[in-house]
Amino acid sequence: MIFSENRCTLFRIMRNGAGTYFMTIAEYCVFGALLLYLLTILPVKWMGHRQFDNAKPRDPAFYQDAIRARALGAHQNGIETFPFFAAAVLLAEFRAAPQYLINELAVLFLIVRIAYVLTYVGNRPSLRSILWSVGFLINIGIFFLPLIRQWLPG
Protein backbone atom coordinates (compact mmCIF):
# COMPACT_ATOMS: atom_id res chain seq x y z
CA MET A 1 0.00 0.00 0.00
CA ILE A 2 1.26 3.43 -0.89
CA PHE A 3 -0.95 5.33 1.54
CA SER A 4 -1.95 4.23 5.01
CA GLU A 5 -5.53 4.86 6.13
CA ASN A 6 -4.56 7.73 8.44
CA ARG A 7 -2.51 9.52 5.77
CA CYS A 8 -5.20 9.81 3.12
CA THR A 9 -5.36 13.59 3.25
CA LEU A 10 -2.87 16.23 2.27
CA PHE A 11 -4.34 19.42 3.64
CA ARG A 12 -7.08 20.49 5.98
CA ILE A 13 -9.53 22.90 4.48
CA MET A 14 -11.51 25.28 6.66
CA ARG A 15 -15.04 25.98 5.56
CA ASN A 16 -16.57 29.16 6.97
CA GLY A 17 -14.82 28.45 10.26
CA ALA A 18 -17.59 25.95 11.06
CA GLY A 19 -15.46 22.84 10.91
CA THR A 20 -12.50 21.08 9.41
CA TYR A 21 -12.90 19.26 6.13
CA PHE A 22 -10.33 17.24 4.28
CA MET A 23 -9.49 16.80 0.63
CA THR A 24 -8.20 13.38 -0.20
CA ILE A 25 -5.27 12.55 -2.44
CA ALA A 26 -7.76 11.13 -4.95
CA GLU A 27 -9.57 14.48 -5.09
CA TYR A 28 -6.27 16.22 -5.81
CA CYS A 29 -5.73 13.66 -8.58
CA VAL A 30 -9.06 14.70 -10.11
CA PHE A 31 -7.72 18.25 -10.25
CA GLY A 32 -4.43 16.90 -11.61
CA ALA A 33 -6.28 15.11 -14.42
CA LEU A 34 -7.99 18.38 -15.29
CA LEU A 35 -4.67 20.21 -15.37
CA LEU A 36 -3.10 17.44 -17.44
CA TYR A 37 -5.52 17.77 -20.30
CA LEU A 38 -5.22 21.55 -20.24
CA LEU A 39 -1.42 21.45 -20.16
CA THR A 40 -1.31 18.90 -22.98
CA ILE A 41 -2.20 21.49 -25.62
CA LEU A 42 -0.51 24.52 -24.02
CA PRO A 43 3.10 23.84 -25.16
CA VAL A 44 1.99 23.31 -28.77
CA LYS A 45 0.12 26.59 -28.81
CA TRP A 46 2.95 28.39 -27.06
CA MET A 47 5.66 27.06 -29.41
CA GLY A 48 3.55 27.90 -32.44
CA HIS A 49 2.39 31.25 -31.11
CA ARG A 50 3.31 33.00 -34.34
CA GLN A 51 1.00 30.75 -36.37
CA PHE A 52 -1.70 30.35 -33.71
CA ASP A 53 -4.64 32.72 -34.06
CA ASN A 54 -6.54 33.06 -30.80
CA ALA A 55 -9.48 34.46 -32.75
CA LYS A 56 -9.71 31.02 -34.46
CA PRO A 57 -8.46 28.57 -31.80
CA ARG A 58 -9.89 25.51 -33.60
CA ASP A 59 -8.52 26.36 -37.02
CA PRO A 60 -7.61 23.03 -38.65
CA ALA A 61 -4.70 24.63 -40.52
CA PHE A 62 -2.82 25.16 -37.24
CA TYR A 63 -3.09 21.46 -36.39
CA GLN A 64 -1.84 20.13 -39.74
CA ASP A 65 1.62 19.64 -38.27
CA ALA A 66 1.93 16.04 -37.00
CA ILE A 67 3.03 16.90 -33.45
CA ARG A 68 0.32 19.53 -33.09
CA ALA A 69 -2.28 17.08 -34.35
CA ARG A 70 -1.15 14.42 -31.86
CA ALA A 71 -1.13 16.95 -29.00
CA LEU A 72 -4.66 17.97 -29.95
CA GLY A 73 -5.69 14.30 -29.99
CA ALA A 74 -4.19 13.73 -26.54
CA HIS A 75 -5.92 16.89 -25.30
CA GLN A 76 -9.29 15.79 -26.66
CA ASN A 77 -8.87 12.31 -25.22
CA GLY A 78 -8.14 13.89 -21.83
CA ILE A 79 -11.41 15.79 -22.08
CA GLU A 80 -13.20 12.54 -22.92
CA THR A 81 -11.72 10.52 -20.03
CA PHE A 82 -12.00 13.19 -17.34
CA PRO A 83 -15.75 12.89 -16.53
CA PHE A 84 -15.63 9.13 -15.91
CA PHE A 85 -12.55 9.45 -13.71
CA ALA A 86 -14.04 12.29 -11.65
CA ALA A 87 -17.36 10.50 -11.27
CA ALA A 88 -15.67 7.22 -10.32
CA VAL A 89 -13.56 8.88 -7.60
CA LEU A 90 -16.49 10.80 -6.15
CA LEU A 91 -18.81 7.78 -6.26
CA ALA A 92 -16.24 5.56 -4.57
CA GLU A 93 -15.72 8.16 -1.83
CA PHE A 94 -19.44 8.80 -1.42
CA ARG A 95 -20.12 5.08 -1.08
CA ALA A 96 -17.32 4.65 1.49
CA ALA A 97 -14.92 2.43 -0.42
CA PRO A 98 -11.53 2.05 1.29
CA GLN A 99 -9.94 5.48 0.88
CA TYR A 100 -6.39 4.18 0.65
CA LEU A 101 -7.38 2.10 -2.41
CA ILE A 102 -9.17 5.03 -4.04
CA ASN A 103 -6.06 7.15 -3.48
CA GLU A 104 -3.68 4.51 -4.83
CA LEU A 105 -5.76 3.87 -7.94
CA ALA A 106 -6.24 7.60 -8.56
CA VAL A 107 -2.48 8.23 -8.38
CA LEU A 108 -1.88 5.25 -10.65
CA PHE A 109 -4.46 6.58 -13.12
CA LEU A 110 -2.74 9.95 -13.21
CA ILE A 111 0.66 8.33 -13.81
CA VAL A 112 -0.80 6.22 -16.63
CA ARG A 113 -2.44 9.30 -18.17
CA ILE A 114 0.87 11.20 -18.13
CA ALA A 115 2.55 8.26 -19.85
CA TYR A 116 -0.38 8.10 -22.29
CA VAL A 117 0.07 11.77 -23.26
CA LEU A 118 3.80 11.28 -23.76
CA THR A 119 3.24 8.23 -25.96
CA TYR A 120 0.51 10.01 -27.91
CA VAL A 121 2.66 13.05 -28.65
CA GLY A 122 5.70 10.79 -29.19
CA ASN A 123 3.83 8.77 -31.85
CA ARG A 124 3.86 5.38 -30.12
CA PRO A 125 0.37 4.11 -31.09
CA SER A 126 0.64 0.54 -29.77
CA LEU A 127 1.93 1.58 -26.36
CA ARG A 128 -0.60 4.40 -26.31
CA SER A 129 -3.45 1.94 -26.83
CA ILE A 130 -2.16 -0.30 -24.05
CA LEU A 131 -1.92 2.67 -21.67
CA TRP A 132 -5.42 3.81 -22.59
CA SER A 133 -6.75 0.33 -21.78
CA VAL A 134 -4.88 0.25 -18.47
CA GLY A 135 -6.27 3.67 -17.54
CA PHE A 136 -9.79 2.54 -18.43
CA LEU A 137 -9.41 -0.58 -16.29
CA ILE A 138 -8.18 1.55 -13.38
CA ASN A 139 -11.27 3.74 -13.77
CA ILE A 140 -13.51 0.68 -13.73
CA GLY A 141 -11.69 -0.51 -10.62
CA ILE A 142 -12.30 2.78 -8.83
CA PHE A 143 -15.92 2.83 -9.95
CA PHE A 144 -16.65 -0.67 -8.60
CA LEU A 145 -14.67 -0.38 -5.34
CA PRO A 146 -17.86 0.21 -3.31
CA LEU A 147 -19.37 -2.97 -4.74
CA ILE A 148 -16.41 -5.18 -3.86
CA ARG A 149 -15.42 -3.53 -0.56
CA GLN A 150 -16.86 -6.42 1.49
CA TRP A 151 -14.21 -8.74 0.01
CA LEU A 152 -11.32 -6.31 0.49
CA PRO A 153 -9.01 -6.43 3.53
CA GLY A 154 -9.39 -3.65 6.07
Q: What is the pLDDT of residues 113-129, one digit of tens each?
A: 999 999 999 999 999 99
- Decide if 1 is inside a domain: no
CATH code of the domain containing 49: 1.20.120.550
- Decide if 6 is inside a domain: no
Domain count for the chain, please give it.
1
Q: Which pLDDT band, with edges at 50, 70 and 90, does 3 fall under?
A: very low
Q: Which pLDDT band, with edges at 50, 70 and 90, does 77 fall under?
A: very high
Position 1 pLDDT exceeds 80: no
- Decide if 16 is inside a domain: no
- Decide if 20 is inside a domain: no
Cα separation, 32 vs 76, in Å, equals 16
- Decide if 70 is inside a domain: yes
- Decide if 4 is inside a domain: no
Residue 69 belongs to domain spanning: 25-151
Position 92 pLDDT exceeds 80: yes
- Decide if 104 is inside a domain: yes
| Amino acid 11: pLDDT | 46
